[in-house]
Amino acid sequence: MGPSGSGKSTLLHCLAGILPPDGGSVTFDGARIDDLGEGDRSRLRRTAFGFVFQFGQLVPELSALENVSLPLLLNGVRRSVAEAAAAEWFPRLGLDGMERRRPGEMSGGQSQRVAVARALVTEPSVVFADEPTGALDTIAGEQVMELLTSAAARQNASVLLVTHEARVAAFAQREIVVRDGRVSGSAR
């Protein structure tokens, strides 16, 4: 949490190996990742990490099912296997029967639930979520958080969540406050 412009997204991007930090180091599973080459970092992101952003992360030309299976395809999983794994998500998402819809044919809340499935389908260790409910109303936002936290817990994945909404933050087990580009001293 922290004011707009305080550096929450920047910190998240550094931790996720998207952005190399100017100083300091990022360690994952006991090994530094900030000094890896782009190829290794990108492989790490595809296999060990999942991502959910505020909106616009689904490929508009692909169906919901294809969007969820995409990360598996990128990891070399056969299409039939990937789509079968993706299909299992739809009842859990509350989107039974919407597998063939494109993002433009779904509500914002439905799209975000598809994005959560896409982030978790590779069974990552960490899901990075930057304002995943930022574009949603209260109830749709709650459904996304409910899904994200329960699915992550079931897979034993950690979630690093950026949000400015306290009700959303209350789904997390602890909070870190960022202020003026620094983690606040009293973070617990």
Ligand X SMILES: Nc1ncnc2c1ncn2[C@@H]1O[C@H](COP(=O)(O)OP(=O)(O)OP(=O)(O)O)[C@@H](O)[C@H]1O
Hunting for tokens 């109830």 — which residue is that? 139
The yes or no reply on residue 124 touching ligand X (CB under 6 A) is no
- Which 18-57 residues touch ligand X, going by CB under 6 A? none
Which residue number, 32 or 164, has a Cβ lying nearer to another protein?
164
Hunting for tokens 């909106």 — which residue is that? 55
Hunting for tokens 């993706």 — which residue is that? 86
Cβ at position 5, least distance to ligand X in Å: 4
Sole window of 2-10, 33-41, 62-70, 167-175 interacting with ligand X (rule: CB under 6 A): 2-10
Which residue number, 45 or 65, has a Cβ lying nearer to ligand X?
45
The yes or no reply on residue 4 touching ligand X (CB under 6 A) is yes
Residues 6 or more apart from 68 whose CB is under 8 A from it? 86, 89, 114, 117, 118, 121
The yes or no reply on residue 133 touching Mg ion (CB under 5 A) is no
Residue 12, classed as helix, strand or coil, is helix
> What is the rounded CA–CA span in Å between residue 148 and residue 74?
22
> What is the rounded CA–CA span in Å between residue 123 and residue 39?
20
Which residue number, 44 or 168, has a Cβ lying nearer to another protein?
168
Which residue number, 9 or 112, has a Cβ lying nearer to Mg ion?
9
The Cα diameter of the chain in Å comes to: 50
Residue 18 phi, psi dihedral angles, 5° rounding: -90, -40
Sole window of 8-16, 99-107, 140-148, 151-159 interacting with Mg ion (rule: CB under 5 A): 8-16
Interaction site with another protein (CB under 8 A): 1, 3, 146, 164-167, 169-173, 175, 177, 179, 184-188
Helices and strands, number each (H, E), in the chain: 8, 7
The yes or no reply on residue 9 touching Mg ion (CB under 5 A) is yes
Applying CB under 6 A, the residues found at the interface with ligand X are 2, 4-10, 181
